[in-house]
Amino acid sequence: MLKQLLTTVIFLCFAFFAMGQTPDTVAAKPKPDTAVIKNIDTVKRTSFAPKIKKEKEYHPDSTHKPSLAVKRSLFVPGWGQVYNHRWWKVPLIYAGLGMLGNAVIVNLRDYKVFLALAKITRTGGIPEPGSPLYASYIKYKREYDLYVVNYGASNPDLENAASGYQRNFQISILSIIAVWGVQAIDAYIDAKFISSYTVDNNLSMKVAPTLVPQPMYAANFNSAFIPGLKFTFTL
């Protein structure tokens, strides 16, 4: 009887202490696989679809008349370029015409001088006062003393010089006419592009270093390429 009572008391004590313990509610959670998550985050999705480029924008001006640009340039050099809003070409046109105009004046002056000296030397001496060549001699006396007296220029030499200046004078006149015509053609081409074929807003130029392959006859044993510059124009 005593043993049974003692056993019962011990069993009740164990049961009481067991009920006093609180369960561990904060359970250790398993750590996620960080390597898998890292790989998922770092992997980027790629697409093989081509990139969409912005369409070029064209702005032709149908009211711009090439014929009007040509007429203005034929009347006044550079007027057609002003009509086409190409102001920077006007100084170039007038610089070229100015140099050619100066060449016309200089060659005409020298042609007259050497022609007069050639006529004077035909007489074999200084023309007498009252002769048709005496006025030319007085006018070009300095040149006569310089080329005939000092340099000993003969009549054929003076005639050849006069012919050369006459040729240069004629070439200068033809060059002025050519420049006048070229600037009129340039005005027409610019006006044509503006009215029908105007370039887009993406006009650009890029300069980059590059290597240029040498021709077979110019290549050496050291290198088959030479350094160069690459110009890329985007129209």
Confidence bin at 199 (pLDDT 50/70/90): low
Classify residue 226: in a domain, yes or no: no
- Is the separation of the CB atoms in 73 and 189 below 8 Å? no
Classify residue 216: in a domain, yes or no: no
Classify residue 117: in a domain, yes or no: yes
Burial-class residue 62 by CB neighbours within 10 Å (0-12, 13-18, 19+). Answer: exposed
DSSP letter string, 115-175: HHHHHHHTTTSPPPTTSTTHHHHHHTHHHHIIIIIIS---HHHHHHHHHHHHHHHHHHHHH
Q: Structural domain tally of the chain?
A: 1
- Distance separating alpha carbons of residues 115 and 166, to the nearest angstrom: 9
pTM of the model: 0.57
- Distance separating alpha carbons of residues 115 and 213, to the nearest angstrom: 58
Classify residue 142: in a domain, yes or no: yes
pLDDT digit string, tens, across residues 31-68: 555 555 555 455 455 555 667 776 666 567 778 889 99
CA-CA-CA-CA torsion for 128, 130, 136, 141, nearest 10 degrees? 40
DSSP letter string, 161-216: HHHHHHHHHHHHHHHHHHHHHHHHHHHHHHHHHHHT----TT-EEEEEEEEEEPPT
Cα distances from 156 to residues 134, 152, 170, in angstroms, run: 20, 12, 21
Of 77, 92, 95, 102, the residue nearest 185 (C-alpha): 77
Q: Which residue's entry shows tokens 């270093």? A: 209
Classify residue 185: in a domain, yes or no: yes
What does the mean pLDDT of the chain come to?
Answer: 78
CA angle 102, 103, 104 (to 5 degrees): 90
For 160, the domain range is 66-196
Confidence bin at 77 (pLDDT 50/70/90): very high
Q: How many CB atoms lie within 10 A of CB 5?
A: 9
Confidence bin at 176 (pLDDT 50/70/90): very high
% of the chain exceeding 70 in pLDDT: 65
- Distance separating alpha carbons of residues 230 and 129, to the nearest angstrom: 72
Given a cut of 90, is residue 91 above it in pLDDT?
yes
- Is the separation of the CB atoms in 89 and 186 below 8 Å? yes
Classify residue 106: in a domain, yes or no: yes
Q: Which amino acid is at 72?
A: R
- Distance separating alpha carbons of residues 20 and 215, to the nearest angstrom: 98
